[in-house]
Structure 1
Amino acid sequence: MAGLTAEQILVIKSTVPVLEQYGNQITHGFYDGLFRDYPSSFEIFSVTDFKTDRQPRALAGAVVAVAKNIDNLGALSGAIATITNKHASLGVVPEQYDLVLDLLLKELREVLGDAWTSEIDDAWSTALRIVADALIATEKGLYQSTNGWTTWKELLVADKKQESDEVVSLYLKTIDGSALPPFKPGQYVSLQVKVPGQEYSSARQYSLSDKPSPDYYRISIRREIGQSDLTAPGSAPGVLSNFIHDSIKVGDKLKVSHPFGAFHLDSVSANTPLVFVGAGVGLTPLVSILNAVLESPQERQIHFIHGSRSASARPFADDLIALANSNPNLKLTFYESKDANQHPYENAKITVKSGHIDLKALSAEELFLGDKNTDYYVIGPTQFLAEKMEELKVLGVELDKIHSEAFGPGS
């Protein structure tokens, strides 16, 4: 690796055990210092993700992954794509990397003390700079692809629609009526919202939940349970989603990023089979991909598999059923962990099962396992994602045919 000597690479690899042992302590200290000394960081990071340990674990895992793969960072290309797309959606700039590197090295020195020798410090200082420069260069390319939309842009809430008991969709349009840029089905935008009573704005990513259109972007947001006090910044989960559900109305303006995201459909024009596997609100990017595919002239065999607590909690159910009725190549399988026998669906093309998604219980024909070119798009919470990917691997699906994204950090 350019910039690191062979000796420095060995030094960095030798630190893996200690980083695995103290990683969370190091990254907790890092975020404590970041929020204390640079409180504007609240506008980028979710405090809930920090307090629930998801963000520190994600950073600790990233540091360990860099150490393990310092001589082959190409092995981390998927993670790097995820990170850089998220950074671009938040408007991260190169100067912020200098701050992060200084704080992270400071915490490494403090936590590990005498074990952190000058040789280790030199090697890690060089390595982190190389990684940061690589991320900056990638993000520069992402920004250059936006035709100048690199910061927050105000869009108009043109419509608001309740999709289920828990999910509401916002339809966003440009204020002047101009066309919105295209995106790749499966991508997301970030919103930056100032919730009354909070000192800082909050930024969150929401998947685009419909096919690309120059007329509007649709995002669909689940109301998070646990919100209790809008006046306590970041103290409870769901502050932003509850505010959007309860207070955002048609005619309001929202600050929105350009679409980004490494999880997306590669080509709508292919004709290979597709299997979509999603849980909860994780179906939103899958609906975007599905709608785009069904608009193409190619006729692909598609199996859309989704799990929810109940029929009333499932967004877009009517839309999916209408698509299945009009497309002979589309099959739906709905899993419901509660009240599966009380569902409102009456359609031979829709299978409703009780419990949670179990891919191993489906037939080879249902998963198109006979065609090695079948693509599998899997999205949902981290644990769900890990389980479904393992099930697909057990079934013989090659890793390069599984396209996945976990909602939330730590993926």
Structure 2
Amino acid sequence: MDDLPPSPAQVPRRLLTDPAFVRALRDRDFTTVFAVTHGVGISFNRIAEACTLKAERVSQIARGTTSVTALTTVERIAGGLRIPGALLGLAAQPWQDTAVLSTESSHGDDPMKRRNLLRGALAAGLTAPALAALTAARTDVDQTLFPGTPQDLADLEAAAESYGYGYHGQAPTGVLADLVTDFATLRPLLTVPQPAPVRTRLCRTAGQMAGMTAIVLHDLGNRRESRAWFATAARAAAESGDNQLYAWILAREAMVPLNYGAPKAAAGLAGQARHAAGNQPTAAAVLAAAVAARAYALNHQSEQARAALTSADALMNRLPESERSDTWLTYSEQKHHVHLSHAYTTLGDTRLAHESQLLALELSAPTSTMTRTLLNIDAAACAHHDGDSEEACRRTVAALTGLPDGYRTGLVRRRALDLYETIPAQRHRERAVRELREVLAP
């Protein structure tokens, strides 16, 4: 028919005899059909084009968030993927009499026979069967070329870059759901043999996405899952050969024990990150030095902490502009002062801590909810260190109660609890301290 899709993404013939795939076709389980088709190297965008469906609809079907019930949609899928009608409970499709061209080609039969079949189909002009025969011939070759340049890769790289800009006012759980969903789409591309440069890009993207997933899990307070995702990120980064990405992952992983009461372990990971990053001024190198400084400060190693701070400042001063943007994967001046704020607060150097807090707040976007809250808690801790525990409690309560739902957990709660635990027990009956305890109650 004239409305046959112009670019069918024909599924490999072997799938049409695979029991699981045939069962999914019989049940019209298109979530499985699309996932398996994607797994053999056919992108969701290509499926959408071939089946004349919107790319968003194909993505929803593949994720199981919507289903296919309309007969016309089932027929479009059958035509686009070149699935014989009988397997989907349909009548024979208009193109099925030409499918032999593709099958015979795959078996290496006489080219003259294939030529005669094609000439016969074209004798009546560019009819639907003739066009289907041409597309089948092209698709057979195109599918052998496709694994070398997967169309989804550029989209996934762009998605990783987008996630790097942080929460932007979104709840961490929402960002986590999107990240993990997109991360899962890497699996089919990684299971298909790829040229070395493509494999490198895939592993690099996997390392970035797994690392950012670990960051969100850390922020939500799930240390075990965060460490597991960091381990996956490190394996992907190591396979990609990107030493700076590997160093960045180790430095970010060091922040898990750093923020949850194991500064010695954090210093060890930060040390590994500094070694992997080397001496050049890179985002990973500055981050590793800053995290090491915070770990030393928490471990009461003030001399080592100040030496690491000096190194971090020196690297930051030489950091190229290309690595100074405000993302999770780079290292901005705002981020630098966030780390300095916590390090100097821990060291009890409240003057330098306040300077970094003010600069970090000035440089933070209004949507940086979690960062601004942590800076306010640092300022409260400085007030406590300077002898005004009542003011420290009031500022911490204000910071916590001003948070939207979903933020008063994980790292934010841990940092506030650290402050509360430094207040002497004999002051726990005071009104401001009681209010802080009530806000922190599970």
TM-score range, shorter chain: under 0.3
Report which of the two has the higher share of strand: 1
Question: TM-score, structure 1 length as denominator?
Answer: 0.25
Q: Which has the higher contact order (CA 8 A, sep 6+)?
A: 1
Greater C-alpha radius of gyration: 2
